[in-house]
């Protein structure tokens, strides 16, 4: 049996700086059955990707799920049956989404992680998140079973 790691966020602080290590889950196709059966209903950070027509993975969104947890949030944003806005529904229907996540029970830590990832991933300004304001600098390292890194 292969070793299964827990997808969590580790944190260390020093001299008013924070150092995060993200242990991502495996990148998986966003399927409502897979999400319902395998994604925990816990808070955490997630990344949502889709493939462009040439097969390249495009980072669509980096965010955190707090109330309701990752399971319900990922279902809501990847299942066209749950989307009420027709324009968003068409977008969801025309994409094959993939996701990965890290669990965290600290909202301000998730804010700092999402701030760092959204700032360094080249997302447009409207998709970037503010930091918590607790630290001078945020540093981040990623561990991914798929060898995919955002930074």
Number of domains, the chain: 1
Numbers of helices and strands, H then E, in the chain: 4, 7
Question: 9: exposed, middle or buried (C-beta count within 10 Å: 0-12, 13-18, 19+)?
Answer: buried
pLDDT in tens, 91-126: 999 889 999 999 999 999 999 999 999 988 877 788
69 in any annotated domain = yes
For the residues 64-74, what does the mean pLDDT come to?
94
pLDDT at 134 over 50: yes
pTM of the model: 0.90
151 in any annotated domain = no
Output b/e per residue, 33-59; b: 16+ Cβ within 10 A: eebeeebeeebbbbbbbbeeeeeeeeb
- Write out the residue range of the structural domain in which residue 114 sits: 9-143
pLDDT in tens, 19-50: 999 999 999 999 999 999 999 999 999 999 99
Q: What is the DSSP letter of 67?
A: T
pLDDT at residue 147, rounded to an integer = 73
Higher pLDDT, 24 or 55: 24
24 in any annotated domain = yes
């Amino acid at each position: 049996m292969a070793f299964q790691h827990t997808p969590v966020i580790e944190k260390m602080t020093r001299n008013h700086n924070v150092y995060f290590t993200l242990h991502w889950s495996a990148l998986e196709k966003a399927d409502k059955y897979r999400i319902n059966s395998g994604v925990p209903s816990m808070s955490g950070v997630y990344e949502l990707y889709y493939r462009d027509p040439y097969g390249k993975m495009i980072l669509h969104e980096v965010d955190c799920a707090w109330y309701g947890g990752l399971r319900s949030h990922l279902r809501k944003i990847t299942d066209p049956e749950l989307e009420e806005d027709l324009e968003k529904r068409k977008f969801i229907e025309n994409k094959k989404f993939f996701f990965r996540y890290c669990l965290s029970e600290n909202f301000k830590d998730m804010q700092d992680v999402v701030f760092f990832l959204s700032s360094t991933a080249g997302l447009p300004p409207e998709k970037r998140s503010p930091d918590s304001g607790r630290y001078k600098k945020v540093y981040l390292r990623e561990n991914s079973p798929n060898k995919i890194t955002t930074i």
